[in-house]
Amino acid sequence: MELLLMIDAAKRASAANIIAVMPYFGYARQDKKGKPRVPIGAKLVSNLLTAAGVDRIMTMDLHADQIQGFFEVPVDHLYASELFIEDITSLNLPNLTIASPDMGGSKRANAYAKILNSGVVVCYKERKQANVIGEMKVLGDVKGKDVVIIDDMVDTGGTLTKAADLMIENGATSVRAYCTHAILSGKAYERLDNSNIAELVVTNTIPKTHNSSKVREISVADFFAQTITSVVKNESISDKWRSNQ
């Protein structure tokens, strides 16, 4: 609501253009109607921003790429992979394998694996209900591998920690995770500390004081600053950033 009010205030102050910089796009997981009588929150938020008078949106790692189609204005969709790939490379892991914690993230995992020249594994999971996992299996070989799990967000940490524990059970040497948006609600920190995850690397798209020594944060400030500068100067953004999603 505060952002909407700021947009409206800028519009009424005769701003030539209004760009909403939203590192984390709220309600992104409500991007479809999976069952009757449920809202499509991502579409509602996009309508509200448009109605308030925004001319452009700048955000990072949307839960689903199609959310960009909800907007009637240009969307600059940035990827944390620009930061994560450099960090993963610096670790010099001897037997790197990229993993997706679910089937939906397989495209993202394949994009990372292609750039890092590594193998890919995927976790198949069945949910009993929201944030509650039933059965999970690893599709692929992780024995003797240094596994890096890639995801767009981590909420309660249930999927992430269960996937890490399962990979260690299947012979993985180590398991790390890179997640863009660190929601970390409920017992997330407790689950992390009690899991086989060696390290969870996140960005600061959601301001937080982390309560676990396993969490390491990477700032997106410079990334967004350079992109904003390019937009204001009418310079190409795609020429500057790796296209891998």
Residue 236: partners with Cβ closer than 8 Å, 6 or more residues away: 230
Residue 137 bears catalytic tag: no
Euclidean distance between CA atoms 152 and 61, whole angstroms: 6
Write down the catalytic residue from 33, 114, 125, 128. Answer: 125
Euclidean distance between CA atoms 202 and 205, whole angstroms: 9
Region for residue 193 given its phi and psi (left: phi exceeds 0; alpha: psi -120 to 50; beta: otherwise) = alpha
Question: Which helix (H) or strand (E) covers residue 157, if one does?
Answer: none
* Residue 66 tokens, joined: 């199609």
Euclidean distance between CA atoms 240 and 235, whole angstroms: 10
Euclidean distance between CA atoms 159 and 167, whole angstroms: 12
Euclidean distance between CA atoms 160 and 199, whole angstroms: 11
- The angle, 0 to 180 degrees and rounded to 10, between the axes of the packed helices 41-52 and 2-12 is 20
Euclidean distance between CA atoms 222 and 89, whole angstroms: 20
Contact between residue 215 and residue 187 where contact means Cβ atoms under 8 Å apart: no
Residue positions annotated with a catalytic role: 125
